[in-house]
Structure 1
Amino acid sequence: MNSTYQAPTPGSKIIIVGGGCFGLSTALALSSANKNYRITVYDRESIPVRDAASNDISKVVRMDYGSSKLNMQLAIDSIDIWNQWNQESSIPVYHNTGMLIFSGGATLCENEQQSLFHIRNAGHGDWIEELNGDQIQQRYPYLENAVRSGLSSGYYNKVGGNNYVRKGWCNSAEAIKLVYQKCKNNGVQFILGKESGHFESLLCKERSVVGIKTKDGVSHQADRVIMATGSWTPSVIDMKKQVIATGQVVIHFRPSEKIKAFLKDMPVWFGDFSRSGFYGFPINKDGIMKVAKHSTGYLNPRKGDRVSVPRTQSTHEGDTIPVRAVQDFREYLKVFLPVTEELDITYARVCWYADSIDGEFIIAPHPDYDNLVVATGDSGHAMKFLPMIGTRIAQVVENIDNEYTRAWAWRTVEPRAGFYDRPLLVDENQTVRMVTPSELRSSKL
C-alpha cells in the first residue's frame, strides 16, 4: 500500500462520489464494517444512474480470466453471493445459464487455454466440458453455420460442486437497485440530483482533500473522499493518462416466437472473443436478446485538453451507434448466428468504460493528494464482481495489505502502441456519423 496513506478512524465521515457498481458496493462494505463510518454517496442522477455502464439489462458473470488467478477467484467468491442475493430479491438478479466459449480453429486460443488451466488447477475441473465442432452443432443447432465457418472448438463452463451452474449473467440494473436498498438499510445517506448531487470539484488544503463541492455551490466536508465516477473519472481527476473513457457498442433484438423456440436454452456465449470481441446473452423475460462487442472502443475528446468524455443518450437522446459498428455486427452475426439476419435491431447504445492501460482496476490512494482514493479502471469487466468488489475497495480505504490491494495499486504503465489512437464516436465535420433508426432495420425484410 501507499506508505504515506492512513486509514480513516472509526466514526470518520466518508464521501463517495458515484452511485454505480464501485460506489454502491463500497458504500455497502464500509457501512457493514462496524466502524460507525458516516457515509454519504453523491450522484447527479437517481439510482440506477441512467447513463452508467451498470444500468443495463444484462452483464456477463464469469470466472474465465486467462492468466489472472485473482480475477478468477474474485468471480468465484462473488457468484456465491449472487446466488444468495437471488434468495433475497423478488426479481432474480442472477441467472445460471452457464457459458459457452468458442475459439476459432481446431484448438482453443491461448487465453482460453490459460483459463482452463487455472480453473482446473484450482480444483474445479468438473465445471468444464470441452466440446468439438460436432458436439457444439448437436447441442446448439443454431450454431451450425458458426462451426462450419471455423469456430469449431470450445468449452462450456457448467456445474459447481454443489450442483448449480457457476456462470451466466446478472440483471445489472436490478442488482444495483438491490445494493442501493441494502445501503439505505445500513444507514448510508444519498444526495442525488443535477445540482445538489453533482460533483464539481475537490475541496483541498494544500495536499489534503477535506471534502467536495457540488454544482449548487455547497461545500461538503469529509475525512475521506472516494471517487467512483466510472468512465467520467479521467475527465474529473488527473489520472496521469492511465485511464481513458471508451465507448463500446451494444445492440438488442426482439426475436419472434418461432426464433425464440429455435434459440431455446442458449447460454451466454463468447464467440472467438479474444479475436473478435463479440459476445451475447440468452433472450430475457422481456423477449430481448442482447449482443455486444468489447473492443478498443470509440473516443469522444472534449475541446481543449482532448480528454475523452462519455457521450450518452441522457444528454444526446437521439444517439445510436456508429454506422461502421452496425456493419461489423451484421457481418459477424451473418456467420455466427444467421437467424438474426431477418431481425431488426430494436435498440442500440454506446456503453462507456474506463479502460486502464493494462486492463486491470486502479483502486488506490491518489498520488497527488492525501485522503483521496480512486476506484476506477473497470475496463468493461467489473459488474460481475458487484457482490465482492466493495469489500476489496474497502480494504484499500482501510489500508489493508493483501494481494488485491497490491495488484490494484497506483502504477505508471506505458501505453501500448495505438492505445490512444482509436476511432472517434463523431467528429467535428460529422463525417463519422451514427446510424438512423431506419438503418437499424434488417435488409431481409
Structure 2
Amino acid sequence: MGVFSSQPEQPQVMTTSPVKPKVIIVGAGIFGLSTAYYLAEDGYNITIFDQHAYDSGDGYKLNPGSTAASVDENKIFRASYGDELHYQRLAYEAREIWKKWSAELGDGKELFVESGMLRVQHSTQLDALECQTLANMKAEGLRDTQYVLTNEEDVRRATKNGWAHKLLKFAIPDGKDVTFEAVLDSTAGYVYPSKACAYLADKLRKKGAEFIEGPDKGVFVSFQVEGSGPSRRITGIVTKDGNEHFADLVIMACGSATPMLVPEVSRVLEATAGSVITIHLPPREEAPQLWDKYSQEQWPVIIGHDPDPEGRTVGSRSIYSFPRTEDGLIKIGYRVTKYTNYVKLPEFSRPISVPLRPGLDDTSIPLKSIEGIKTFVSTFLPDLAALPVAVTRLCFYTDSVDNSFLIDYLPDYNDSLFICTGGSGHGAKFTPILGKHVRDVVQKKPKTDLTYRWRWRPELPLGNGLEEGPDGPRTLDKQKRASPEDLKRAGW
C-alpha cells in the first residue's frame, strides 16, 4: 500500500457493503419479472425459472397451447375501480412508466396504446360502481378525462378534445330506439403483455439475472427444506432434471399454477379460466372500411358488464373487445363466467382447480361463452358477426378470495418462502410498477394501505367463487364445449 504515493501512508479503513440475498423466482410472467426487475435494481442476485422456453427464439409468442395469462396479444389498461382508490392510484402510477417504456423503445414500438375505453352500462343509467368510479376520478382531479354519453357538457368537451368519435351510441336490443349509457375513459386503452415481458426479460439479463427455462431444467418439482418445526426453512428448489438450486429466498410467482405448487395457498387462491376468441378481418384490400373503423385511432376498447341475479354490476362479470391489431385480429374476451378445472392431486386431501396442461387438455371454450360473445358482437360489433372465429383460447387467471393480490411471506418458513400472485384477471396493467411495491414487502417495509391488502390473509371467508368448490356450476367438465364446426357456422 502507498508504493506509488509520496504522501505519508494513511491507515486503511475497510468498508463492506452488505451482500444482497440470492433469490430464486419461479415464474417468468408479469408478477415474476416485475418483481425480479426491482430486486435486481437493488442489487439482489436473481435466478428465474419457468417451464416455458421463453429464452428461445420464439420468446413470449402466444401459441394455442399456452394458458398463461401473461402471454397474450393485449390486455386492458384501465384505472376504473369503483371505490378501490388504491388500485386507481396504482394504475396511474403504472401508466406513467408504460409511457416511458414506449418512449424508450422508440420507432413506434408501443407497449401501451391510449385508445380510450368505453365502459358500456347494462341500462340507460349509470350503475353504482360507475358512479363511485366517477366520484373517485373527481376526487383525484381526473373527472375531465371521463366523458359520460348523456352529459351534454361532457359531449362538448369530447368534441373539443378530439374524443367524440369514440363516444359511441349502441341501441339496447328491443329497447325501442333507447341506447345504453356509457362512459369514455380517455386515459385507458391497452397494453402488450407479451412484448412487455420480453422487454423486462431483456432488461434483467443486462442486469445480470439468470434465466433457467424449459420443459425439464425450468420446471419446479419441489422445495428443498432444512430443519423442521419452528426452525424450518426453504433453502432452494429441485427442478425436473434433478438439479438442486440453492437460494436465501424463494419467490413463487407461478400464476394459476401456484395453488397446486404451494398447497398452503390453495384455500385462498384458485385457477379460473376466461374465454377468448379472435376474429380475423378480411385482407385490407378487400375490406378497407373495416380496417379503418376498428383501428386504434378510430375505435376504443369496449367493455360491457352483465348484472348479477340481484341486478348489481360486478366488475369481473364482463365481455370486452379490442381495436384490431396490425395483423387485422380483433380479440374478444368473456369473463361473465370464469371456469374452474378441478382435479384430485396426490398431495391434496381435496380436489383443487388447476390450469390445463398445454398441448394435452381440451382447450375448446364452452358454448355458453360463445353464446355470450355472439350477443355482444351482434350488439356492439355487428359487422363482424358473419366473420369466422380464427382462434379460441382458455386464459387461466389466479383468483383470490377478495380479488386483491397475495404478496407476502408464507408463515412457518422463517422468511424463506414468498408468494407473489393472485392477479384475478387485472394484474397485467400494473406490470411496470408492481415489483416496486413487492420489493417493499420483501424488505419488510411498513405496510401501506395497498400492501396491507396483499397480506397473507387465510382468515377471510371464502368468496369470489372459491366457496363453490368442485360441485359448483362453473367446472369445465359440466360445460358443453364448442367444436370447430360450431365456430364455422354463419353468425357462429
SS at match of 2:302: strand
CA distance 1:400–1:10, change in 2 (3 Å): farther
- 1:94 deviates by 1.1
Aligned mates of 1:82, 1:97 — CA distance in 2:
14
SS at match of 2:343: coil
Tell me the residue number matched to 1:269: 302
SS at match of 1:77: helix
Tell me the residue number matched to 2:253: 228
- Please, which moves more after superposition, 147-156 or 331-340? 147-156
- 1:140 deviates by 5.5
Quick check: 1:27 aligned with 2:74? no
Residue type of the alignment partner of 2:90: L
- Please, which moves more after superposition, 67-76 or 287-296? 287-296
Quick check: 1:17 aligned with 2:58? no
Given candidates 414, 434, 437, the residue that maps to 2:461 is 414
Tell me the residue number matched to 1:251: 277
Quick check: 1:346 aligned with 2:390? yes
Checking the alignment, whether the CA contact within 8 Å between 1:251 and 1:347 is kept in structure 2 is yes
SS at match of 2:391: strand
> How many residues align structurally?
423
Residue type of the alignment partner of 2:456: W
Quick check: 1:196 aligned with 2:217? yes
Given candidates 128, 132, 135, the residue that maps to 1:114 is 132
CA distance 1:297–1:272, change in 2 (3 Å): closer
Residue type of the alignment partner of 1:406: Y
Residue type of the alignment partner of 1:278: I
- 1:226 deviates by 0.4
SS at match of 1:212: strand
Aligned pairs for 1:128-143 within 5 A: 128-132=146-150, 139=165, 143=169
Aligned mates of 1:295, 1:376 — CA distance in 2:
22
CA distance 1:148–1:101, change in 2 (3 Å): farther
Residue type of the alignment partner of 2:48: V
Aligned mates of 2:360, 2:413 — CA distance in 1:
31
Deviations 1:254-303 (A, max 9, x none): 12324333445110111136355111111111101111122341111112
Quick check: 1:282 aligned with 2:323? yes
Quick check: 1:300 aligned with 2:307? no
- Please, which moves more after superposition, 283-292 or 396-405? 396-405
Aligned mates of 1:360, 1:223 — CA distance in 2:
27
Quick check: 1:62 aligned with 2:90? no
Alignment root-mean-square deviation, CA: 2.4
Checking the alignment, whether the CA contact within 8 Å between 2:337 and 2:474 is kept in structure 1 is no
Tell me the residue number matched to 2:91: 75
- 1:434 deviates by 2.5
Tell me the residue number matched to 2:47: 40
Q: Where do 5+ consecutive residues of structure 2 fail to align?
A: 1-17, 55-59, 159-163, 307-312
CA distance 1:254–1:226, change in 2 (3 Å): same
- Please, which moves more after superposition, 288-297 or 271-280? 271-280
Checking the alignment, whether the CA contact within 8 Å between 2:334 and 2:369 is kept in structure 1 is no
Aligned mates of 2:104, 2:487 — CA distance in 1:
39
Given candidates 85, 94, 97, the residue that maps to 2:115 is 97
- 1:403 deviates by 2.5
Aligned mates of 1:240, 1:426 — CA distance in 2:
19
SS at match of 1:92: coil
Tell me the residue number matched to 1:186: 207
Aligned mates of 2:174, 2:357 — CA distance in 1:
38
Aligned mates of 1:105, 1:51 — CA distance in 2:
34
Aligned mates of 2:429, 2:408 — CA distance in 1:
20
Tell me the residue number matched to 1:359: 403
CA distance 1:247–1:151, change in 2 (3 Å): farther
Aligned pairs for 1:366-405 within 5 A: 366-370=410-414, 371-401=416-446, 402-405=448-451
CA distance 1:62–1:140, change in 2 (3 Å): closer
What TM-score results when the alignment is normalised by the length of structure 1?
A: 0.89
Tell me the residue number matched to 1:242: 268
Tell me the residue number matched to 1:162: none
Checking the alignment, whether the CA contact within 8 Å between 2:323 and 2:330 is kept in structure 1 is yes
Tell me the residue number matched to 2:239: 214
Residue type of the alignment partner of 1:82: W
- 1:418 deviates by 5.2
What TM-score results when the alignment is normalised by the length of structure 2?
A: 0.81
Aligned mates of 2:70, 2:429 — CA distance in 1:
10
Aligned mates of 2:125, 2:167 — CA distance in 1:
21
